[in-house]
Copies of this chain bind each other. A is one copy, B any other.
Amino acid sequence: MQRASGLLPAAIRFQMNFNVRNSMAFNPISEIGEFGLIERLSAIAAPSLDNTPGVVVGIGDDCAVYRTGGPAVQVATTDLLVEHVHFDLLTTPMHHLGSKAISVNVSDICAMNALPEYALISIAVPGKMPVEMVEQLYAGMAHAASRYGFAIAGGDTSSSPSGLVISVTMTGQTAESRLTFRKGARPGEMICVTGTLGGSAAGLKLLMRERDLMLETLRNNEPYSKEMMAELQEYSRAIRCHLLPEARLDLVQFFHERGIVPTSMIDISDGLAADLRHICERSGVGAHIEESRIPVLSEARAIADELQDDALSWALSGGEDYELLFTLPKEQYDVISSNREISVIGEILPEEEGLLLTDIFGMTIDIGESAGGFDHFVP
């Protein structure tokens, strides 16, 4: 009771200090960045892991992992998508947004070599938003649920004073012997990636250009005609990569069928370079990859030519491709070589060698320093 008395002045005083941005006392998050913030918050939350005996992995991998007494271990992940930060409703149909909000979570489950089972979905929606738009969003989610084979088991709805907010939490399961983490890669092992990279960044660039063009047309009171869109038809695959990415559950099923357990795995959400660095840091290793072996989406190359941009850098640091990046001992090459969705792009090195990229001219550079990944708080 004593603590509650006098609560209000303290709260308001603190808040006022915040409002006048008393920079002597407080540090804005943008100064330490997203990864700095996660580190500080993890340190605060870590002691709580001792409260229950079943936690296998807490903060720091693609999913949390815990035991519930059954034959399989549970994995769980959560993603918060905020309008104007993670998506732009001007270029994102609600049905696609719903599907993507699901896919990014399934992708995290896949990165643990697990299968998705249940999702809880919360949304905060501006009250003036049409019901039909929210229904489209849920239809996209329900469609994805059928495709990936999990159940939408519950959630929460509320109003939002500004933009749309979507929170998806997903649980999955896998046999403990199949679990893969970011740690576990050893020197000499193959570095493998699924599908193609750079498509999502290429699609996003196109959508941004198109949006700007359309807004300018509208500002000038000119009619916006379908003919202006014609050129996008040939780039539908890249746009699809951005708006409707697919989690690679098919590859996880392939792993399970063939008895493959990658020594480390992550999904590519930040970009090949940053996500490879996550594996290297957690595993205490270095890596060497070759540009010529990186499976860049051919459409992304064509779009890069048109926009005078660089498709390789989209593959390395564009992010949001949601392909799987994993490592395997070389002896297992024969097991994966038949699968055309898997490319071997390099080799794990001892830690002191760094994170190396050899380009198509044979030049080798260390990309470890620049592979920071996307930071929400650093402009």
Chain A contact residues, CB within 8 Å of chain B: 1-12, 14-15, 18, 21, 25-32, 34, 36-38, 40-41, 44-45, 47-52, 54-55, 58-59, 63-64, 66, 68-72, 74, 76-80, 82-86, 89-94, 96, 117-118, 120-125, 127-135, 138-139, 141-142, 145-146, 149-163, 165, 167, 169, 171, 173, 207, 210-211, 214, 224, 226, 229, 232-233, 236-237, 239-240, 243-244, 376-377
Contact = CB atoms under 8 A, between A and B. Distances in A.
Contacts of A146: 47-48, 51
A9 B69 contact: no
B90 A11 contact: yes
B129 A55 contact: no
Contacts of A21: 128
Contacts of A50: 151
A124 B165 contact: yes
Given A89-B15, A117-B66, A158-B80, A7 B243 contact: yes
A60 to B, nearest CB: 8
Contacts of A210: 8
**Nearest 4 A-B pairs (CB), nearest first?**
A69-B70, A26-B130, A70-B70, A64-B153
A161 B84 contact: yes
Contact of A135 (B41, B76, B154, B239): B41
19 contacts: A4-B239, A7-B93, A7-B96, A8-B239, A11-B92, A14-B133, A26-B133, A29-B131, A31-B131, A45-B142, A59-B155, A64-B120, A68-B70, A68-B74, A77-B154, A78-B155, A82-B124, A82-B161, A122-B167
Nearest to A80: B122
B12 A90 contact: yes
Contact of A124 (B8, B85, B161): B85
A142 B82 CA distance: 25
Given A40-B135, A127-B377, A162-B162, 11 more contacts: A4-B239, A7-B239, A14-B133, A28-B130, A34-B158, A38-B157, A44-B139, A44-B142, A68-B69, A76-B154, A80-B156
B158 A82 contact: yes
A85 B129 contact: no
A201 to B, nearest CB: 16
A86 B229 contact: no
Nearest to A228: B9
Contacts of A78: 120-122, 154-156, 167, 169
Contact of A173 (B14, B36, B68): B68
A236 B40 contact: no
A93 B14 contact: yes
B165 A80 contact: yes
